[in-house]
Amino acid sequence: MDKEQIKSNILELIDEKVEVPPYELEPLFNKAGVPFNGKRSMTTDTDKKRVVFYHCSTEFGEIIQELCKDNKIKIVTTQNCLTRYLIDGKVPPLPLSIGDKANVPSWLPVVFKIKEKDDE
């Protein structure tokens, strides 16, 4: 499966579920034979100590960055999805990021959503 097909599958899943945490994309990458887990972490643009996804692959990061750059998806930071991460056992071994600035590497719960035209 090529990169464009993976992007299409990601968009279909997000469209179907409305919002998707990063870890729910793992089966799509596994099916495509593309690494999902890795040694990288995705951070916010404004604060490199605020981690939105812990230990992802370079391939995962590139695909998500391209979808964001192409205005297809948006990364929504929300404390409301914290319960979802807890129930699914997907909380990374980092302190929870509280506030606008982190002093140490901290985790910020996020979900992916389809970017609408009025989101710009």
Look at residue 39 and tell me whether its pLDDT is greater than 90: yes
The pLDDT tens digits for 50-104 are 999 999 999 999 999 999 999 999 999 876 789 889 999 999 999 999 888 889 9
Mean pLDDT confidence for 19-30: 96
Q: Where are the domains of the chain?
A: 3-114
Give the per-residue pLDDT at 60.
Answer: 96
Give the per-residue pLDDT at 98.
Answer: 85
Mean pLDDT confidence for 15-32: 96
**DSSP state, 9?**
H
Quick check: 66 and 7 in contact, CB under 8 A? yes
Look at residue 117 and tell me whether its pLDDT is greater than 80: no
Give the per-residue pLDDT at 119.
Answer: 67
Output the CA angle 114-17-78, nearest 5 degrees. Answer: 65
